[in-house]
Structure 1
């Protein structure tokens, strides 16, 4: 056993306090006993600490695919790029846990819309990678789960105004994303290129393919963001399909769920959304929580048009 005067304790507390210990990632390790001596009282405190901890390396899958298209794991750089994203996200415990919890709430909305349009289900991970399933705003100004820029949203028939921004409307934004994805598939003919084009644009990806004279995403030299993009999608697909392999064992009751909602159709102006929500047995917070596409405190409705507002049932 080793003896230390009490000030050393504070150093160890700082060091240990800054270490995130994830129980599934730590293997048994030899321990040592350390005795701390209080300078004034002489009282001794004995604690045991591991001499070292060992980070677990994962047994990665022998093969993986995106939308049924195999990933060429026979290429060393492909394996390295996949491993990078697996380890980054598997060990970013707080972020991955929260994404898994949110996914249970929002994927049941996204999945049937993709299926309706004949889009492979793996594209749900595009929305996940784009936004973490949150209505975020990128530095460039892209918004919502699917991260549409203003002009792109309008081209896809989403309303973007001071009062209404349908980039924040999950169902309508997913419908718009499907329109883009079908257009990209008509251009490229394979889903991996479609997913890559969601990051760098149809024109951008086409230009790189023409310059480098190769048709496949995995053979292209691309910018850092797009180079990692598909592998981030693949990493989350692997984490979601095999969570226990990577130490994630969330129980059903620990996941987030969407409450039962009622839909109210409105076809006339609402001058005060807070007052309107109260009249409908809700409140302004719930109104904005379940209708983030409402961007003002009022709603002006053009003649002959209407909106559907959701509130807790």
Structure 2
């Protein structure tokens, strides 16, 4: 049992309940075999009638020993799928297993050992077998959803049985586990293969939750839906192409409609950004760069590539698109925790866990399905949709010079807004110091490359903020007074929610005033012969550094200053002579 518990704990956060169940069966088969072999040695009624090895099961020699699973089973879902596709899972094998199971059940009913065991335990196992056989019928009818639902019930009834040390029941439970896990693996393998080539894989479910979301789109959210639909034309064509190349359902191209309304610069309260609403950590995980100059969460092609990789990973974990969409919204960890606290008969039905999800996520999947329903037949739901905006064509030019977009736009005779809209990932309307591929309107790339040396190189301004580490007894008011700032400015710069609580040791970013430190102008002091300067009324460290073409950090270092606080008459060393 220690091995089983260890496997469960290891796999809970990486695979779904199906795979946890299958892997527990796989790795615990040796333990169960030891138990059943020990029991058989004491009960000759369970020995192999054909006279084969005593370690063999009544199910035949292939089930009497631990199965030989593939070496790549450690690769998770993909390894199991490879195994399922390589092995020939024959119906006759399962039929033989069922026949032998029935034989064991009959023998158990007549066994002396079973007389003191409640009949209800055997009834649970018989019911589980009936559900298993029903799942086989659904599977033959090419109805995997109903087949999986029947396996749900088979598994639930099997768990209700408490075999204790009754050898016949122990054997039946062991065989049922193997039968169910094999069928689950087969269904999952078929689903995985189908998704790779099927672009209509998201079922259009209609229930009261979806109907409620449709009514919201018809009412208070109507304008949002129409505006988002029109904006979709700028990006959706490229998204659909990338989804098809990845073998993913093209319906996922409508996900940005509910994520961001197809707004490039959409920013959520959770600091998720862009069409696909990536938070920084998830964006970094899937290859989106974010530094002082660029944030690729705002780049439509790159963020779409990252979103496809994320959705594909989630589908490998959960196996059905409804649960994948919920996980995309609130994170796979949240969904896995909800699944872990479900009743034992939950396997693969999203609507089983629907009401346990966070409120926003519980609306997320029905809202997406409502979008698909409306777009399938807009007139039916009262929408007369205008044509979407066309995509904006562009070409690229790689430049190795840091320039401001305002200067580039003037050279190309276009508006700054047009250039900025083509390059939303640029954080400060300027290119990075490293070589950068800039998007420009069609026909302008050659002109830019020919005139790039005529555009003045842009030098970023000196940093206009300082850092302060909170000490015991300090308040935001005292810190703001010290740096000639305001409490509200400091709170906004550090995303603080309360002005009354700050943690000792926290490093605060303090924005510094640039030009209007006070209502009067600072005097134009001169540098002394010894390289020092006397602080005048209205001076700030940043202004002094700017005036003498140095940096605030260098002045602080020369004067061994712990903060940027100045007082009138203070002598500052500006340069070493």
Query: Which secondary structure does the structure 1 equivalent of 2:365 belong to?
Result: helix
- Report how far residue 192 of structure 1 moved: 1.7
**TM-score normalized with structure 2 length:** 0.39
- Report how far residue 67 of structure 1 moved: 5.0
Query: Which secondary structure does the structure 1 equivalent of 2:395 belong to?
Result: strand
Query: Which secondary structure does the structure 1 equivalent of 2:372 belong to?
Result: helix
- Report how far residue 101 of structure 1 moved: 1.1
1:44-76 deviations in whole A, cap 9, x for unaligned? xxxxxxxxxxxxxxxxxxxxxx95344665xxx
CA RMSD of aligned residues (A): 1.9
**Is 1:80–2:215 an aligned residue pair?**
no
For residues 285-304 of structure 1, the aligned pairs below 5 Å read 285-302=417-434
Query: Which secondary structure does the structure 2 equivalent of 1:264 belong to?
Result: strand
CA contact (8 A) 2:423 2:438 kept: no
| Aligned mate of 1:240, from 375, 384, 399 | 375
Change (3 A) 1:204 1:261: same
Query: Which secondary structure does the structure 2 equivalent of 1:68 belong to?
Result: coil
| Aligned mate of 1:257, from 390, 412, 422 | 390
Higher RCO (CA < 8 A, seq sep 6+) = 1
Query: Which secondary structure does the structure 2 equivalent of 1:309 belong to?
Result: strand
Structure 2 regions of 5+ residues with no counterpart? 1-198, 444-577
Inter-partner Cα distance in structure 1 for 2:421 and 2:247? 30
CA contact (8 A) 1:273 1:299 kept: yes
1:209-245 deviations in whole A, cap 9, x for unaligned? 1111423211102221111111000011111121111
Query: Which secondary structure does the structure 1 equivalent of 2:293 belong to?
Result: coil
Query: Which secondary structure does the structure 1 equivalent of 2:235 belong to?
Result: helix
Inter-partner Cα distance in structure 1 for 2:393 and 2:330? 37
1:129-177 deviations in whole A, cap 9, x for unaligned? 1111112100111000100011111111111122101111001000000
Residue equivalent to 1:53: none
Q: Structure 1: which 4+ aligned runs deviate by more than 4 Å? A: none
1:226-271 deviations in whole A, cap 9, x for unaligned? 111110000111111211112222343xx311233222223x1323
| Aligned mate of 2:352, from 210, 219, 232 | 219
* More moved, 221-230 vs 210-219: 210-219
Inter-partner Cα distance in structure 1 for 2:274 and 2:227? 17
Residue equivalent to 1:110: 239
For residues 66-77 of structure 1, the aligned pairs below 5 Å read 68-70=201-203
Residue equivalent to 1:26: none
Structure 1 regions of 5+ residues with no counterpart? 1-65, 74-78
Query: Which secondary structure does the structure 2 equivalent of 1:142 belong to?
Result: coil
Residue equivalent to 2:217: 89
State which structure, 1 or 2, has the greater radius of gyration over its C-alpha atoms: 2
Inter-partner Cα distance in structure 1 for 2:390 and 2:237? 10
- Report how far residue 286 of structure 1 moved: 0.9
**TM-score normalized with structure 1 length:** 0.71
Change (3 A) 1:119 1:310: farther
**Is 1:209–2:342 an aligned residue pair?**
no
- Report how far residue 104 of structure 1 moved: 2.2
1:257-290 deviations in whole A, cap 9, x for unaligned? 1233222223x13232211232234232111112
For residues 38-49 of structure 1, the aligned pairs below 5 Å read none
Change (3 A) 1:101 1:297: closer
Query: Which secondary structure does the structure 2 equivalent of 1:167 belong to?
Result: helix
Query: Which secondary structure does the structure 1 equivalent of 2:439 belong to?
Result: strand
Q: What is the number of residues matched between the two proteins?
A: 238
Inter-partner Cα distance in structure 2 for 1:72 and 1:281? 51
Inter-partner Cα distance in structure 1 for 2:273 and 2:315? 23
Structure whose residues are more often helix by fraction: 2
